[in-house]
Chains A and B, each alone.
Chain A
Amino acid sequence: MHNFPNARSVAAEHLVLEQLGKSFGAVDVIPSLSLAVRKGEMVAFLGPSGCGKTTTLRMIAGLISPTRGRITVGGRDITHLPSHERDMGLVFQSYALFPHMTVLRNVAFGLEMRNVPKPEVRARALRALEVVQLSHLADRKPRDLSGGQQQRVALARALVIEPSILLLDEPLSNLDAKLRDEMRVQIRALQQASGITAVFVTHDQVEALSMCDRIVVMKEGHIEQFGTPTEIYEHPASPFVSSFVGRTNRLRGTSDSRGVITVAGQQIRAATAEAQGPVEIMMRPHRMRLAPAATDRNVPDATPVQGQNSLRGVLERLTFIGDLVQYHIRVGDAEVMVEEATRRDQGAPCAGTPVDLTWQASDTLVFPAAAS
């Protein structure tokens, strides 16, 4: 039925988007999007605002209808099914609790819509509130609850109907940092305990990396990369993914046929070197080391350590952020950041001194330089 190369996972595929597209007037917000979410996994749609992640989520929920393509859940075509027949739990960024109903009535709403018998509605709604540890607030109105509590009510309301898919639209964006960490753990635990298939829309890479089984990195309405958090972080498919997920250094250079890359007049190597000509190289700041520049007598360039890259630059400034020190080093006309864990016995190099940066050649990512 589906036309996907990965035949092994076909049986486990639950939510499938096939060449899904959305246009608003003449604007192609999403040209064509295809992906398959497996049963029981949590997938993040990660991207900057305006990348189409929320639009995609709303198409899955049936709140906007796609211009082209197909959506299936468990093999059933739901593309044209109205949202109230889709059996999906949606958690909004604004929580969207019904202000005129008590917490309990909010949670019970979906069950009432399903014509569940009254005593059972109450019991199940209360149990759902217990799961999010809010049963003591069942008779309050949403406006009497804190943001985190409201978010948990919204979660209980979405989960109590045991939907086939749980959709979360930036659910943590309105919470403060500490609460966000707690809710991250709680949402993930709930999702894994219930084994529900979940789609999580976020612009926060930490949320995506820490909570989800796989991540769809989106940009301008198309998928840049779809993979596990490790794949996305270690093997980004494009400079965009590399710089959007985690911190990264971007340098411009020129690659020759032997895979030697010239950056700011100095030569380095990369693990893979399929690109030739102008390239962009990327390194994670925390995979690099900093050392005072070697003196002329023991020139490191002459006898480089096997598999290691080295660049000379000038330390411009350093930023102390508690558990990390960030060094900003000027290399040619580019700035490179190095992150090192702080140590108490560390003698910090002074700004303005020449330094050598070293890192593994295998930690160097090379992309053909963008046209810009």
Chain B
Amino acid sequence: MTDAQLPTAVHPLRAHSPAISASRARRWGSFFYAEQALRVMRGYGWSVFLYSVGQPVAYLFAMGIGLASLVDANSAAVFGGVSYLAFIAPALLVSSAVMTASGDFSYPIMDGFKWRRVFYGPHASPLVPQQIAAGHIMASALKFLVQSVVYFVIVAMFGASPSPWGWVSAVVATIAGLSFGLPLMAYASTITKDAGQFALVQRFIVVPLFLFSGTFFPLDSLPIGVRWIGWISPVWHGTELGRVFTYGLEESPVLTLIHVLFLVGAAATGWTLTRRQFVRRMGA
């Protein structure tokens, strides 16, 4: 018997069975969709990078150095004894994540359901609507984190984060982005007709939150009548929590806990409502 020399087996291209596709999708589907979202973002890689570097540098120069030279000379005590730059750096970090979130969780959701209907492509695959929502969220969260880390590094280079725990503020900013963004995503996924809702959100929610959340001055210095804006604002809770980490803002541990619970609670509620709305809108 001779061992015939078989030609090297050329493996014909074969997809794995549908059963394997389905079980992998059930387990990893959210990550598969996150991969798509990240690939799309890669197309904008440069603008994301420039935004996350350019914006902090511009703000830190203008506010932290220009404005700070006046503020520090006159009223340093108001800002907890730290430089004005150190005071506003965590606020800018959080605001930046929240503003990115206001973009990522509004128009792209309309696009997915209505304009270019991009959610319906994966919906015809083994993925389920909850996974499409989760994948979108995970990819954006990763983007916030990368952006916040870059932002934090620049803040640190400006010497505006004296505490060794300062880096935690990048994580806080990411969570703040989600705690604002996920309720917005839940709302965006209910919209069937674009009537300029997102422009209103931008003008009447995002901008006031940015201005009245203890960003540029302590919330206490506002009249009591508008302080509530800060209390319900992910920007305020995120900023104060960030300050605890970057320069050791002294506040009651209960208040610190409230910041954490508020941020996580808002994000979790938003996520739950989003999942429900995605399933309702797309069917099982």
Partners in one complex: no
Instruction: Show the binding face of A for B, using Cβ within 8 Å.
Output: none
